[in-house]
Every structure is written in C-alpha cells, then in structure tokens.
Amino acid sequence: MDKRADRIYLCLAHMSDTGAEQKYVQEAFDTNWVVPLGPNVNGFEKDLEDFVGQSKRVVALSSGTAAVHLGLLACGVGPGDEVLVQSFTFCASSHPITYLGATPVFIDSEKDTWNMDPELLEEAIKDRIAKTGKKPKAIVPVALYGMPYKIDRIMEIANRYEIPVVEDAAEGFGSKFNGQVIGTFGNYGVLSFNGNKIITTSGGGALITADDESWREIMMYATQYRESYPYYQHEKIGFNYRMSNICAGIGRGQMTVVEDHIAHHKKVQKLYEELLSDVKGITVHSQPATGEYDSNYWLCTITLDPDMKVKGQENAYRQVVTGAVGGAAGVIHAAKSTHTDCEPNANVEAMRMGLDALNIEGRPLWKPMHKQPVYKDAPAYVNGVSEALFKVGMCLPAGPYVKEEEVRYICEAIKSLIEE
C-alpha cells in the first residue's frame, strides 16, 4: 500500500469556516484586552453555560488539569485525604490529587464503557473506611475517549455515602447520558479545550459549578484569591488559572461549530464500525446499545485479538524509543529499556509502527494509572479490565480534519498490515 504524502493525525481541532475565531481574537487586540479576563472570557463562559444547561455556572480556566485541581480543592481535598479516581485515564485526572497532598485510590474499569466500575467503587469505599477510619474525600470518574460513564450508578453510590463527585469530562465535551450533558451530574464537571479536543482554545479548560456560590469560590481560587480591597489582600492561597481573553476568543468561534464537530466524530465512528466489521480479529469499541449513552467519540478505538499476526510483529519493541509517541513537546528522555511490566502486545505495537510508516498516527490506549511507576505505592482496586484492554487496544484518527476517504484509507491500511 502506497504511503500518503500528508500525515493523518489522531485528533486535531478545526477552525470554523466563517473565521469567527479570528474575529473575536482581533477584537481582543483592537480593544487591548490581551489579559486573563475580558469580554471574550465572559462571552465564552456564557456560551458554555448555555451548551451544558442544567442552570450551571462555568469558570473558564487555563487548562483541564487546573479544573480538576480546583474542583478537588472545592471539595475540601487536602493533605492526608484519599480520592477515588478512575485508573484507566490520562494522568491529569490523578496528578492534581497529589498536588493537594492527598493520595489517589485507583478504581478499575467495567467492560461496557471502559470507565469506572461502580461495583469496585463501592467495594473501595467500604474498604477505605475500614482501613483508614474515614471516607474518601471525592470521587473522580472519567469519560474515557468521550464515552459516558455509568453516572446513574456512580451518583447513587456517591450520594448514599455523601461523597462529592468531580466528573472528568475533559474528553467527553458534548457527550450525554439520558439526554443530559456529562459534567453536570456531580458537584463539579471538568472540561478541556486542548488542541486535540472536540473544540479548542489552543490550550485551556473550564470547571462546571452547581450554583452562584460555588462559582464565586472557584473564581476566587482561579484569580489568586484576591479580596475586594483597593489593594492586594489575600486571605487564602489562590492560583493563576484564568483563561486569557485571546484564548477565549478562539473558544467563542469554536462554539459556533461544536455541533458540527461532534456530528463529524460520530460519523467517523460509524465508518470505522462499517469498514472494519468484517475484519477478523479487529473489534471497534462502541457505546452500549441500551439507549442511555450518547458518546461524542472523541477518539475511535479498536482492539486486536491477541492471536492476530501483524506484519513486522517480530520487530516490535526492538528499538529503544528516544522521544514520546505523538511527538510531545519537551520529552527528551530516552527510554531505559524496550519493555515495561505492562505494555501493549507485540501485534498492537506492530500495527502502530505499520500505520506510522504509512503516515497514519495511531496510539496505544492510556496506560492504567495503577501501573504507572509514579503511583506504584498508591492503593488500587482492580479487576484486570484496564490492563487487559491496554494490552490489546489502540486509538485511530478521528478529528475534524479526518475526511471520509482518509478513514477508508486507514481501514485499508489496517487490513494490509494483517498477516494472512
């Protein structure tokens, strides 16, 4: 199969065709609002509030990680506390727990959505109370690759034990459960507008809050907790987490195409399902067909049967990696060895390498946090689901730049890499 001249990336945001982003950014320059506040920030927050509904208030922030941090802080998380967090996720879900001096307690996934297992969650709550004499301080479920979690069951457990919930919907902007936007069920909801998300502000995030009082407190923490005096008075430690007026201008333009972006991701998912349905050994992960779930399919994912043979499989993990897959900026360490104690199967790595040679970006699934060296001493309640999925799964390109003919090219590439 011939290599494409242009590379197909996993997920890149797309600017609106109307140039709305440039309009709002230019207004910021014209009016000299080149600061972390201003009309675009206020307008973007209002757009987000209208989008998520449920009479929620939203604070625009510098990143989704900042939103997790402030959500946990607002729940009272501090040194010596424990927070129950999904293990199958990106590190931004758990790192802010450690910022606050608390300990993450990792919860494994269930097979339907790949998200937090409610049964393990309740088991962990009971066990932590028995072991520590106190309840965990918060619960952090994650919308993995945009897939809604079993929020009805998670909220039922959280409410029964009176533990606040910070929904990490960073990957799930616009995903719904029973028609309600995720991120609006718990005490707080986290959104991300990184350059690879459904919409982008180039970098940035937001925290969904329940009411005016919680919104005001988050706003205080996001702006160095400056009191209302004619000079700088600080009575609590705050943070410099507000979104800039420039970034918010991009966000306002992006909100004009958010529904188009979500529809595109769903279309790409449907194409993968159709084009790979007859490929033996390949399974496209889809939302449960029970009717409650409405995923934005931020990323489309597949699993490879462990017995499948992929061309070049014998060369998998032969060479030490000197940078990050995906070219993450600033990553300069060379890997210490070719293997770790938890890694994708050789056929998954061979498929990634084969696609890469054809100018197609594919990546492994998130490595479970309970298998990360930095969290080797953290408590974890596991059932083997996330580790098993990590070994056999990978992500495929799904962003607004990925055209129908490119999805067809990707699927043909996958087929061409499978040994007969």
- Looking up residue 284, the CATH number of its domain turns out to be 3.90.1150.10
Query: Do residue 213 and residue 135 come from a single domain?
Result: yes
- Looking up residue 223, the CATH number of its domain turns out to be 3.40.640.10
Among residues 223, 254, 285, the one where a domain terminates is 254
Query: Do residue 164 and residue 62 come from a single domain?
Result: yes
Query: Do residue 47 and residue 134 come from a single domain?
Result: yes
Nearest alpha carbon to residue 40 among 52, 28, 26, 22: 28
Which residue range(s) make up the domain with 65?
20-254
Among residues 230, 254, 278, the one where a domain terminates is 254
**pLDDT at res. 12:** 84
The total of other beta-carbon atoms located within 10 Å of residue 410's CB is 27
Query: Do residue 190 and residue 49 come from a single domain?
Result: yes
Instruction: Report how far residue 242's alpha carbon sits from residue 70's, in angstroms, rounded to the nearest whole number.
Output: 11
Whole-prediction pTM? 0.96
Query: Do residue 237 and residue 265 come from a single domain?
Result: no
Query: Do residue 248 and residue 262 come from a single domain?
Result: no
**10 located within any domain:** no
**Residues constituting the chain:** 420
Query: Do residue 322 and residue 196 come from a single domain?
Result: no
| Residue segments in the chain with a per-residue pLDDT below the cut of 70 | 323-332
For 24-66, what is each residue's pLDDT tens digit? Answer: 999 989 898 888 889 999 999 999 999 999 999 999 999 999 9
Query: Do residue 318 and residue 346 come from a single domain?
Result: yes
For 106-123, what is each residue's pLDDT tens digit? Answer: 999 999 999 999 999 999
**6 located within any domain:** no
Phi and psi angles of residue 294, each rounded to the nearest 5 degrees, phi first:
-140, 85
Among residues 203, 234, 254, the one where a domain terminates is 254
**pLDDT at res. 324:** 67
Nearest alpha carbon to residue 188 among 67, 28, 33, 328: 67
Three state DSSP letters for the chain: CCCCCCCECCCCCCCCCCCHHHHHHHHHHHCCCCECECHHHHHHHHHHHHHHCCCCEEEEECCHHHHHHHHHHHCCCCCCCEEEEECCCCHHHCHHHHHCCCEEEEECECCCCCCECHHHHHHHHHHHHHHHCCCCCEEECECHHHCCCCHHHHHHHHHHHCCCEEEECCCCCCCEECCEECCCCCCEEEEECCCCCCCCCCCCEEEEECCHHHHHHHHHHHECCECCCCCCCECCCCCECECCHHHHHHHHHHCCCHHHHHHHHHHHHHHHHHHCCCCCCEEECCCCCCCCEECCCCCEEEEECCCCCECCHHHCCCCCCCCCCCCCCCCCCCCCCCCCCCCCCHHHHHHHHHHHHCCECCEECCCCHHHCHHHCCCCEECCCHHHHHHHHEEEECCCCCCCHHHHHHHHHHHHHHECC
**13 located within any domain:** no
Number of domains the chain is built from: 2
**50 located within any domain:** yes
Query: Do residue 241 and residue 390 come from a single domain?
Result: no
Query: Do residue 355 and residue 389 come from a single domain?
Result: yes
**pLDDT at res. 171:** 98
Burial-class residue 5 by CB neighbours within 10 Å (0-12, 13-18, 19+).
exposed
